[in-house]
Amino acid sequence: SQQGEEDPQALSIQEGENATMNCSYKTSINNLQWYRQNSGRGLVHLILIRSNEREKHSGRLRVTLDTSKKSSSLLITASRAADTASYFCATDEGNNRKLIWGLGTSLAVNP
Amino acid sequence: GAGVSQSPSNKVTEKGKDVELRCDPISGHTALYWYRQSLGQGLEFLIYFQGNSAPDKSGLPSDRFSAERTGGSVSTLTIQRTQQEDSAVYLCASSSGQGVNEKLFFGSGTQLSVL
């Protein structure tokens, strides 16, 4: 079953705008990860946030985690056309290293 | 190698044939995962190998699917008597296997099309 659920399913913005994607999950976690996928092939790790962290930054990416609401958000600032991709969140299941994946948010950044 | 390598990148087969998909993980990574992704969907877990431990096969959808990992490195996913619903991208990932807070490194996947 899918633990992570992203919303929106699809997002279309203009270059230079910010993009926000959300992820909700159901059980307790050790960490939550965000990945990016271009053209339906291999995924690339973007950022990992641990359960005891509330916010993390990496370049133009900002991730927040609210364990009380079991949700996370990924913010991409000053978006570029090259940011066009699908973005997935993934959570572990406590002691189980098997990650559970959401269905992803498809982001289109228009030049 | 520098990254996770999967082969073939594309495979077209006829219904009923067997196929083998190969994954060569990053050298030294003890954990290896196989996932399946249908068009527009998320990743479906298939199987997980960690060192010499018994693999977690809980995600394999039927007994037509099997996987091996020889010598703790290269892995082969075999699908016997393929069906059209097996058409998907099969993704392999590896990680260091050192702890729970670790990221996965993915290969580019094998696009399987069953006609």
Calculate what percentage of chain A has a pLDDT beyond 70: 91
Name the band, by pLDDT with cuts 50, 70 and 90, for residue B3: very high
Q: What is the pLDDT of residue A94?
A: 59
Q: What is the pLDDT of residue B11?
A: 97
- C-alpha A104/C-alpha A5 separation (Å) is 7
Task: Assess A41–B contact: CB distance below 8 Å, yes or no.
Answer: yes
Q: What is the pLDDT of residue A2?
A: 39
Of residues B100 and A77, more confidently modeled: A77
Residues of A in contact with B105 (CB under 8 A): 45
Contact A43 B41 (CB under 8 A): no
> Which tens digits make up the pLDDT trace of A5-50?
778 889 999 999 999 999 999 888 889 999 999 986 789 999 999 9
> Which tens digits make up the pLDDT trace of A58-94?
999 999 999 999 999 999 999 999 999 999 999 886 5
Range list of H helices, chain B: none
- C-alpha B73/C-alpha A79 separation (Å) is 39
Q: What is the pLDDT of residue A87?
A: 95
Residue in A9, A29, A99, A106 to test binding to B, most B beta-carbons within 10 Å: A99
Distance from CA of A88 to the nearest CA of B (A): 8
Question: How far is it between the farthest Cα atoms of chain B?
Answer: 41
Task: Assess A31–B contact: CB distance below 8 Å, yes or no.
Answer: yes
Q: What is the pLDDT of residue A1?
A: 33
